[in-house]
Amino acid sequence: MNSRSPAGVVAGVDGSERAAAAAEWAAEEAVRRECPLHLVHAVNTGTVTLSPRTSTAVTDLILRDAEGTLDEALGKLRAAHPALRITGDVVPRDAAEAVLTAAEHAELAVVGTRGHGGFASLLLGSVSLRVAAHSVCPVVVVRDAEPPGGRVLVAVRDERDGPALRFALRAGERTGLPVRALHSWSPAVADVGHMAPMVDEIGEEARLHEQLLARICDPVREEYPDVDFRAGQVSGGTAAALVEASRQAALLVVSRRQPAPHFGLRLGTAVHAVLHHAACPVAVVPL
């Protein structure tokens, strides 16, 4: 049993439909990247608290059942992608920790929005949130529905977002999809009652943001001359703008700005919101 994957794409599976959809997305991405796919099925056997003899028997039964679940997932993916190298492991530990460990040397980690655990009413499970918050490589959170649109959307805030922008452009290059960068900002207006006299100032602020967007995007644009790439700005809340724009996207790319500590998620309001509400898969790129 090897909890660390070969370099490539890592996907978490648990037998749920959402995990199966994430694994299929991961397989398609591994084909595009021409790299292997590694599946991780985690089972936390530490919760078995019966007598030692019974506990061992129950643990063995849990692990055998998990092996069957993994073998089924491997079989389906190998049948659908016969040229793709696919491996897998059952890991007896916490699901998020298992995926994070497997992804330490991976190009990409892929998880579903929710697995079997937790409450059915939740939009996003704790495992997906923890992986997105702590992974050292980019993470894609995949919904069970088909992506609604045909473009790659990337959120751009400032010059630090270069890695997310390049991730999006590489995705556009591999898929042939156009890439759209979206920069959102809120007017610095302290008093709504004084809005009218500040129209010129708002216009100047918009021009400054346009210049900022050009400084961020133009150098990166030159690195991907064959990608249909456009950048635009919108005035308003970042989370709402991204969620709305995701309705026409095949993938939404956002930055995780600060390394998350061991305790706590620290994903930021906008990233947390799009992970819960975006209509398409969301890629979280650590900076």
Let me know if residue 2 belongs to a domain: no
**CATH number of the domain enclosing 43:** 3.40.50.620
Please give the Cα distance from 107 to 57 (Å, whole number).
37
Q: What is the mean pLDDT of residues 121-141?
A: 83
Please give the Cα distance from 249 to 35 (Å, whole number).
25
Question: What's the pTM?
Answer: 0.86
194 in the same domain as 255: yes
Kindly report, residue by residue over 163-211, the tens digit of the pLDDT.
999 999 999 999 999 999 999 887 765 444 544 445 566 778 888 888 9
Let me know if residue 156 belongs to a domain: yes
Among 86, 117, 142, the domain-final residue is 142
> For residue 42, what are the domain limits?
9-142
Q: What is the mean pLDDT of residues 78-91?
A: 96
Contact 160, 212 (CB under 8 A): no
Q: Domain count of the chain?
A: 2
Let me know if residue 43 belongs to a domain: yes
172 in the same domain as 112: no
- Residue written as token pair 């050292």: 136
179 in the same domain as 86: no
223 in the same domain as 102: no
179: three-class secondary structure by DSSP: strand
The single-letter code of the amino acid at 40 is V
Kindly report, residue by residue over 158-174, the tens digit of the pLDDT.
999 999 999 999 999 99
Size (the chain), residues: 287
Contact 21, 76 (CB under 8 A): no
197 in the same domain as 174: yes
109 in the same domain as 184: no
Structure tokens at 144: 């069970």
Strand 282-286 relative to strand 139-142: parallel, antiparallel, unpaired?
A: antiparallel
42 in the same domain as 68: yes
Strand 179-185 relative to strand 229-235: parallel, antiparallel, unpaired?
A: parallel
Kindly report, residue by residue over 32-62, the tens digit of the pLDDT.
999 999 999 998 776 554 445 556 777 788 8
Among 142, 164, 198, the domain-final residue is 142
What pLDDT shows up at residue 77? 98
157 in the same domain as 125: no
